[in-house]
Structure 1
Amino acid sequence: MNNFVFHTPTKVIFGKNTESEVGSLVKEQGCRKVLVHYGGQSARKSGLLDRVFTSLQEAGIAYTSLGGVVPNPRLSLVYEGIELCRKEHVDFILAVGGGSVIDSAKAIGYGMANDFDVWDLYDRKNTAKACLPIGCVLTIAAAGSEMSDSSVITKEEGGIKRGYNSPLCRCRFAVMNPELTYTLPAYQTACGAVDIMMHTMERYFVPDDTLELTDGMAEALIRTVMHNALILKGEPQNYKARAEIMWAGSLAHNSLMNCGGPNGDWASHQLEHELGGMFDVAHGAGLAAVWGSWARYVFHDKPERFAQFASRIFDIECHGNARETALLGIEAMEEFYRSIDMPTTIRELGVALTEEQIEELAAKCAFGGRTIGAFKTLNQEDMAAIYRNARG
């Protein structure tokens, strides 16, 4: 096992009606003016924004607001947010939404606190020295951005989607009321479940030995999400199922599942980022579409790890043939994706990839000559092969 440092500075306020505590939480941070950052009109129509504004007013906190965040959050809105924050002398950013809103808020926070173009962080040309403090009111269980050190932004010019990681952007607090996810469309709920599972699986499928305890937590988390995702197909307002998945989303991506192992593989995420950048597909659906192709491409390097996964997640017996058991586990995971109406090929995303597009995706993923993956190191040729196999 590897040495590790586990530090989770985010204060979690979990449960019904917790959004009413936002004002006092911001006040604890000693901030004077807040940017309330959000997505479309659902937060306004549901009354959530009004409740947040009321809580801020009651605490004596001034605020301004900026909506318009979309899935695969755009760099242009980040720039708009930075300009607004400077104009309004904002010293705290409150994200009201899901991972896309929180990621956008983090990027604005970086842009406010550093004296260079914020895209330089995502383009690997600079390193953050600071970030404006961030808090969030979570409305979608998926990305785990409420407790993670990561932010992913899409640059419209060229359709480039990039992530940046730094502990500086971790939320000071995360307000998590499962009731706020009741009205999510079934497709979005399923996408969120896949994203949560993949954050765990990226850390699970690694070449090094890991802690048995961390493996057990990861396996329990995956099984919990699978069980409750199926419940929510028929009972979208089941509070317990919503709560289980919301808490799983945070634990999957707050570094707990890294403890004792390497930082993770992340190849599936990197491959999906390029799909999201070029075709604006939903992140969770894109992950489901490429995972099986990735898994079949790499499992030969350590089939015992995939066999363990098959046994502990799907109760598939291993009769001494790790490769056969591994393949059965991969097939079982794809069957689960189908059971919650998620794609298992890129064609099922509504994207008919040409050979030229496959080469472009691989070239973007390998920008700067980089390789991806830890379970198996993948170069540009490998990336193209996985896209090709996932095409469908």
Structure 2
Amino acid sequence: MDNFTFYNPTTIDFGTDKEQQIGQHLGAHGIKKVLLTYGSDRIKRDGLFATVTKSLAAQGIAFVEFGGIVSNPVISTVREAIALARTHQVEAVLAVGGGSVLDSSKAIAAGVLHEGDVWELFSREASIQAALPIFSVLTLAATGSEMNNGAVVTNEDTKEKFAIGSPHTFPKVSIVNPALMQTVSRDYLVYSAADIIAHSIEGYFTAKVQPRFQSRLVEAVINTVIETTEILLADPADYDARAQFAWASTQALNGLTYAGTAGFSYPNHMIEHSLSALFNVPHGAGLSVIMPAWMKWYHSRNREQFQRFAKEIFGLETAEQGIAALEKWFDKIGTPTRLSQLGITEADLPATIENVLGNAKWFGIAEIFTRDVVSRILKSAL
């Protein structure tokens, strides 16, 4: 087990009606004016916006709203929100939504206090020195952004999808009420399942040091996701399954499953970021295509761990059987497993490969993911 420091300052307030207490949480941090960020007007139609703003008003907290944040969030929207936040001199950012809203909000919170353009923080021309306090009310479980310091945003001009992360961008408090997620569409439920599994397997398969205890944590997350996804597909109103799915999502990327793990990388995310940046495919849908293709290429480099995956997740014996079982499960639940299902053809591969090679440099794994390797993985996913 490698040396590590585990740090996670985020308070998770989990359960039914917890969103009614968001004003108290902001008030406890001395916040008097907040930028309230969200995606679509669905939160207004279903009453969540009214619940949240009523809770803010009860604590004497003013808000400035900024809606319209899209899936695969873009830097131009972040820049607009930063300008609004500066104009109104807000003291914090409150995200009400899923991972895209949370990621944008982290970028906004850091960008408000950065003297240059916010994209400099993503391109690593500058580092995050401070950020406004961040709070969230989660409406979709997938990214784990409610309890980590990472944020991923696309630059629509350069077609680059990069990330930031800093001790300053951990949310202070995140509300996780599984009941708020019952209206998530079938498609986004299965895309979310793929996203959570991808978060779980990156270190599990690629780490040079992977303690068995950490492997067991990862396997618990994946088994929970598989079990609860199938329950929710049959009964979207099953609160217990929804709650376990949401908590598994949080655990997959809050740092706990990676404690004591060393020498790992994020190749599936590295490749998928190009699909999202170039073709605006849902992140989880892209991951469910990339994971089996990458696993078929990579498994011989860590055959023992792939055999463990096959046994502990699917009750099978060989690495190849485990990979096939995962791909079959993705097909079963209805998340894509081929690039063609995303509308991506062989004619799109040259531009995609070029974009992935740029990502490989950013991720620091360009020596492994050469043009030939990336081409082989993507062609096998057609």
The reply to whether TM is greater than 0.5 is yes
Partner of 1:379: 370
Residue 355 of structure 2 is aligned to residue 364 of structure 1: yes
The answer (yes or no) to whether the contact 2:207–2:263 under 8 Å persists in 1 is no
Q: Secondary structure at the match of 2:206?
A: coil
Residue-pair matches, total: 381
Residues 1:331 and 1:250: Cα distance change in structure 2 (over 3 Å): same
After TM superposition, give the deviation of residue 291 of structure 1 in Å.
0.8
Q: Distance in 2 between matches of 1:335 and 1:48?
A: 37
Q: Give the whole-Å Cα distance in 1 for the aligned partners of 2:360 and 2:194.
A: 29
Structure 1 residues not aligned, in runs of 5+: 318-324
What does residue 13 of structure 1 align with?
A: 13
Match of 2:339 in 1: 346
Note if 1:230 corresponds to 2:221. no
TM-score (norm 1): 0.94
| Whole-angstrom CA distance in 2 between matches of 1:59 and 1:347 | 51
Question: Does the CA contact (< 8 Å) of 1:293 and 1:389 recur in 2?
Answer: yes
**Identity value in percent:** 36
Query: Distance in 2 between the 1:335 and 1:373 partners?
Result: 31
Instruction: Return the TM-score normalized by structure 2.
Output: 0.96
Partner AA of 2:34 in structure 1 = V
Q: How far does the alpha carbon of each residue in 1:241-270 deviate from its partner, in whole angstroms, 9 at most, with x for none?
A: 110011111110101010111263211001
Structure 1 residues 263, 172: CA separation in 2 closer, same or farther (over 3 Å shift)?
A: farther
1:321 alignment counterpart: none
Counterpart in 2 of 1:35?
A: 35
Q: Tell me, in whole angstroms, the C-alpha distance in 1 between the residues paired with 2:55 and 2:282.
A: 32
The answer for the alignment partner of 1:337 in structure 2 is 330
| Structure 2 unpaired stretches of 5+ | none
- How far 1:156 sits from its partner (Å)? 1.5
Tell me the CA shift for residue 372 of structure 1.
Answer: 5.0
Asked if the contact 1:371–1:378 (Cα under 8 Å) also holds between the matched residues in 2, the reply is no
Relative distance call for 1:293 and 1:253 in structure 2 (3 A) is same
**Distance of aligned partners of 1:67 and 1:219 in 2 relative to their CA distance in 1, 3 Å threshold:** same
Alignment of 1:170-319 (within 5 A): 170-262=170-262, 264-317=264-317
Partner SS for 1:13: strand
Name the structure 2 match of 1:322: none
Letter matched to residue 245 of structure 2:
I
Distance 2:156 2:363 in 1: 23
C-alpha distance in 1 between matches for 2:90 and 2:346:
44
Mapped contact 2:6–2:255 kept (Cα < 8 A): yes
Residue deviations 1:302-350 (CA, integer Å, cap 9, x gap)? 2111111111111113xxxxxxx11110000001111110111111122
* 4+ runs deviating over 6 angstroms: none
Q: Give distance in 1, aligned partners of 2:132 and 2:377.
A: 38
Contact kept? 1:272, 1:286, Cα under 8 Å:
yes
Aligned to 1:164: 164
Deviates more, 1:165-174 or 1:381-390: 381-390
Distance (whole Å) between structure 2 residues aligned to residue 106 and residue 265 of structure 1:
23
Deviations, residues 100-155 of structure 1 (Å, cap 9, x unaligned): 00000011011111111110121222211111110100000001100112101011
Please tell me whether the aligned partners of residues 360 and 369 of structure 2 are also in contact (alpha carbons under 8 angstroms).
Answer: no
> Does the 8 Å contact 1:136/1:174 carry over to 2?
yes
Name the aligned partner's letter for residue 14 of structure 1.
F
1:38-187 aligned within 5 A: 38-187=38-187
Q: 2:209–2:263: 8 Å Cα contact kept in structure 1?
A: no
Q: Compute the displacement of 1:368 (Å).
A: 8.0
- The separation in 2 between residues aligned to 1:296 and 1:390, in whole angstroms, is 10
Q: 1:7, CA displacement in angstroms?
A: 0.8
SS for the counterpart of 2:161 is strand
Q: CA deviation at 1:185?
A: 0.6
Note if contact 2:138-2:146 (Cα within 8 Å) is conserved in structure 1: yes
Contact 1:139 1:181 survives alignment (8 Å): yes
Q: Which has the higher mean CA deviation after the structures are superposed, 29-38 or 365-374?
A: 365-374
Give yes or no for contact 2:208–2:262 (8 Å, CA) kept in 1.
Answer: yes
Distance 1:101 1:235, change over 3 A: same
Residue 366 of structure 1 aligns to a residue in which SS? helix
The change in CA–CA distance for 1:304 and 1:266 in structure 2 (over 3 A counts) is same
CA, structure 1 residues 127+371, in 2 after alignment: closer, same or farther (shift >3 Å)?
closer
Counterpart of 1:320? none
Q: Matched residues in 2 for 1:177 and 1:142: separation?
A: 14
Q: Distance in 1 between matches of 2:256 and 2:346?
A: 36
CA–CA distance in structure 1, aligned partners of residues 194 and 360 of structure 2:
29
- Counterparts of 1:289 and 1:221 in 2: how far apart (Å)? 20
Counterpart CA distance in 1 for 2:171 and 2:261 is 24
Distance 1:67 1:157 in 2: 21
Indicate the SS of the match to 1:129: coil
The structure-2 alpha-carbon separation of the partners of 1:187 and 1:369, relative to structure 1 and needing over 3 Å to count, comes to closer
Q: Are 1:205 and 1:265, in contact at CA under 8 Å, matched by a contact in 2?
A: no
Distance (whole Å) between structure 1 residues aligned to residue 313 and residue 147 of structure 2 = 25
